[in-house]
Chains A and B, each alone.
Chain A
């Protein structure tokens, strides 16, 4: 039943598959054995309209939209469920097929409301598109005799259902069956009265509801968050990476009038496999609101002065240089944030270590144990190749929710054994023996447990790979870049400095005289009263900060920063995949991007060889400095040498 070829799980698998040759509309094509006719046709660029079929779901062939003539079979066959065989001859363009398509569309439109002008799907709706392309141009049924069903049914705080618009393709129910494993939507009643509804009429509770409007081919299921926000043609689409966690889900950022209207999935089979979680998808509103720092400011003697960027940078360099001269680099603390790009983090740690001679740099509050490149050797898609996956505690799936879907897929399609255990479960009690590949997944707080578990499970034939879930969109990149107190770029050991919390403690005790904070507002807020004490005590606070808040209010020099959606650069996800981000919104400030400001600051402090701080230039520099990043490019994984294993 499970058709694995339609959902290639990893890059392997397809490569060695045997090919068969089929003829579609007179053109020959060689496709892997087991492919479906609809996929073979699309590889030739021949479009077959589908409704119930979905690339990530098993075929059911209920909608009959895809009927085509296959060889000498007596009736037309559904292309979405017919597997190719050698020498098969398929006709998709003939009067016979066209007539059937017209008929199917006429049926579908029979009771479909004339809602297009008010429907959120209008403009990107398969029913509209196919009706124009393949449908009858007129209707033989009077509009007044349409049968009606409930409209604007609120299924949950996130999803709204219009039962009239539903074409009963079952994609939504199958999504729940096959992708999340929850069963929240059902078909109720029979015949012409059949409608989709939630099970027992209860509100949906899934964490992955936001995918429903995307699987629905029509406007029956829609987002409450995106309700009547825009038309698809209003939207400016930018490729991006979801800002909510470090899983690195690929998204399309759809903005209208400089305001993000929605996040849509952008299928990357290696990462999120086109499914997003609701936390990420509906985090849209955060990014359009909140007050911003717009101009560089210098605060002196209780007075705030608006200045130009050059002046602010010069003043910052003067203040930092003075502290450096009087008290040395040990009296400076540098705090970044996991929301920064690799380029910014790399420059920031370089500025701290090389120019300011300071080892107190961190991107979070606490150094959570010894970090190593080993802790993310397991790729996300590789989970499906494991025989057993051990998940320590609930945090990995709570922090990166889409992981749950990958585990479910691995279980359902590949028979992977998923063991969810306590953090301190004893490896012996799990009884994992004689496996080829075992995955161990933990969050970064419990990375020590995961290391022990991996050591205990590894034996002669068993290869154990680990995946450590970091926090913040670029939590992994921050570690790779060496924005850590005890480790430099590429996890090299360096002279130990203070971690985030220790910096704040030292600052409130007076031992640290200057703070350089880049986008650190959220990190510092996490420290509560301690951060406020530190900010009140220290005189020299240089902040590059996009948002107004405790940092911008206390800093002696504020340079406006850019939010995550306003900058260029790359971020690294949990498995070490380096993905590019580019601005989806125009910056709210005229100040240059952080990388450039950092380069200016370094130059003002007397450093040479920093270049202009152009993100691309910095990216080139950092890939030369860090081996693993050299081959990563955009979208590849930074592959690290495993300890004790040449690779």
Chain B
């Protein structure tokens, strides 16, 4: 009996003296595993065009119906995505998402993947519905948006080469310049989601006002 107690205490002592595996989150972050399924990312091609073609297959595959895609027609002279169609509105309700990854499997263009970020707590319910701009990979400043500190999560686990890629000439420079501004300064303490996130737009209000 005495022997057992010694044995048990030894284990407790051993763990008590070893380095704890707990990390001081959020100050300290652990790298996500390569196939971690967290907050979604909408990807771009290297020329800046969006991969998403607004086909709504992700929304159809989603078992909980948390994706909203509002497609629209590309202006051929100033396209958002290759081809005729793009997603004008793209929203994911993270509070409903079960992170199954079906959307990523359904996507015909590999436009959507699930990224490393998994902290979504927020003080405002509407902010947990991510808009397209928040989900979209930043461009053209790939290297910065992919750095360790990229709280937006965009592409952080995808291609962590750290090499700067020249995005090349884009037909959408004007739009990007504006997009870049909003991607510039993620506010600390809000999971990277800027405070002035446009709320969920009630479609009835928007179109029938």
Contact = CB atoms under 8 A, between A and B. Distances in A.
B86 to A, nearest CB: 9
Contacts of B85: 118, 228
**Which secondary structure characterizes the binding site on chain B?**
mixed
Interface residues of B, number: 20
Chain A: number of interface residues, binned into ranges: 20 to 34
Interface in B53-87: 53-57, 59-60, 71-73, 83-85
A529 B115 CA distance: 63
A152 B84 contact: yes
Contacts of A94: none
A258 interface: yes
A234 B203 contact: no
Contacts of B72: 228
A231 B65 CA distance: 14
A228 B71 contact: yes
A257 B60 contact: no
Given A117-B53, A233-B60, A227 B73 contact: yes
Nearest to A152: B84
Contacts of A289: 207-208
A292 B57 contact: no
- Best-buried of A231, A289, A291, A292 by chain B (most CB within 10 Å): A231
A231 B60 contact: yes
**Which secondary structure characterizes the binding site on chain A?**
loop
A288 interface: yes
A506 interface: no
Contacts of B55: 117-118, 122
A228 B89 CA distance: 12
Nearest to B83: A118
Nearest to B55: A117
B71 A291 contact: no
Contacts of B174: none
A228 B54 contact: yes
Interface in A210-234: 227-231, 233-234
A318 interface: no
Given A118-B55, A234-B56, A228 B73 contact: yes
Contacts of B203: 257-259
A588 interface: yes
Nearest to A122: B55
Contacts of B108: 117
A231 B61 CA distance: 13
Interface string B192-209: 000000000001100111
A617 B172 CA distance: 59
A586 interface: yes
Interface in A225-264: 227-231, 233-234, 257-259
Nearest to A288: B207
Contact of B53 (A118, A151, A152, A227): A118
Contact of A117 (B57, B59, B209): B57
Contact of A588 (B53, B57, B208): B208
Contacts of A291: 209
Given A117-B108, A118-B83, A152-B84, A231 B207 contact: no
Contacts of A234: 56
Given A152-B84, A227-B73, A259 B207 contact: yes
Contacts of A257: 203-204, 207
Nearest to B204: A258
Given A151-B84, A231-B60, A259 B208 contact: yes
A259 B70 CA distance: 12
B200 to A, nearest CB: 12
Contacts of A230: 71
Interface of A: 117-118, 122, 151-152, 227-231, 233-234, 257-259, 288-292, 586, 588
11 contacts: A117-B57, A118-B55, A118-B84, A118-B85, A151-B84, A228-B73, A229-B71, A233-B60, A257-B203, A258-B204, A586-B204
Given A117-B57, A257-B204, A258-B208, 18 more contacts: A117-B109, A118-B54, A118-B55, A118-B85, A227-B73, A228-B73, A228-B84, A228-B85, A229-B71, A230-B71, A257-B203, A258-B203, A259-B208, A288-B207, A288-B208, A289-B207, A292-B208, A588-B204
Listed from nearest, the 6 A-B pairs whose CB atoms lie closest are A117-B55, A257-B203, A118-B85, A228-B71, A258-B204, A231-B56
